[in-house]
Amino acid sequence: MAAVNTGPGGGAVVRVLVADDEAMIRAGVCAILSADPGIEVVAEAADGREAVEAARAHRPDVALLDIRMPRMDGLAACEEIRRTAPGTAVAILTTFSEDAYISRALGGGATGFLLKSGDPYELMTGVRAVADGGAYLSPKVARHVIAELGGERLTRGAAARARIAALTAREREVLALLGEGLPNAAIGRRLHLVEGTVKGYVSAVLDRLEVGNRVQAAIIAYEAGLVASTPTGA
């Protein structure tokens, strides 16, 4: 078995694949991530097909994908990576002009959405959250998407509250923490539960809400009012 690299605090180093067809943006993202001693960029790709091949070859913890790339776009690459390298979590690099792609990316298995022009610390935080099994939606992206809902927001809120009505009190607590973007271990510490029990609750919540991943559940938590303000992790 290959040795696991560890960061300065003794934790495992997060191994990341960065894919973007613009060389300068890719270089900038790599430089930001490499400044964190707990993150290692193990591969780069200039298009979606290269990203899929790199994910299969390197098995990174996180694949950070641009949406608009040649040969295969980031959304198709996301779906293929989740299918062929299920141990790799996918985060999408996005801009405010790409809101329409978020629902498809969610369906494809992405659990993170990070703004290209965002705070470098936010980029590191998002990559770590996704690697830990959490969900991360850049706060600025979250606010923008919710604002774009316009008059639909109240309707969506009512619909979300109806959807969570069947959850038990404990399941609602778990959903609220999913809304904060917390991974299972952190939820367990907050609720004083073992991680295996948390996994069971998370699976039950996703099943009851009929959603495919944690980001979709986090959005419902926000819309239902379980999260007091735009969460840093969802």
Average pLDDT over residues 207-219: 87
For the range 12-15, what are the long-range contacts, defined as Cβ-Cβ under 8 Å and sequence gap of 24 or more? 13/38, 13/39, 13/40, 14/38, 14/39, 14/40, 14/61, 14/62, 14/127, 14/128, 14/131, 15/40, 15/42, 15/58, 15/59, 15/60, 15/61, 15/62
Tally the domains of the chain. 2
Q: Is residue 234 part of a domain?
A: no
Residue 48: give its domain's CATH number: 3.40.50.2300
Q: How far is residue 117's CA from residue 51's CA, in Å, rounded to a whole number?
A: 21
Dist. CA 225–CA 31, nearest whole Å: 37
pLDDT > 90? residue 44: yes
Out of 31-40, 80-89, 155-164, pick the least confident: 155-164
The whole-model pTM stands at 0.68
Residue 3 domain-assigned? no
Residue-wise pLDDT tens digits, 135-150: 787 776 666 555 555 5
CATH code assigned at 171: 1.10.10.10
Position 1 scores a pLDDT of 35
The residue among 146, 172, 193 that closes a domain is 146
One domain, residues 20 and 129: yes
Residue 67 has pLDDT above 80, yes or no: yes
Of 10-19, 34-43, 52-61, 74-83, where does mean pLDDT reach its minimum? 10-19
Q: Which of 105, 123, 146 is the last residue of a domain?
A: 146
| Domain around 51 | 14-146
Asked if residue 6 belongs to a domain, the reply is no
Among 18-27, 57-66, 207-216, whose mean pLDDT is lowest? 207-216
* Bigger pLDDT: 231 vs 106: 106
What's the average model confidence in pLDDT over 89-102? 75
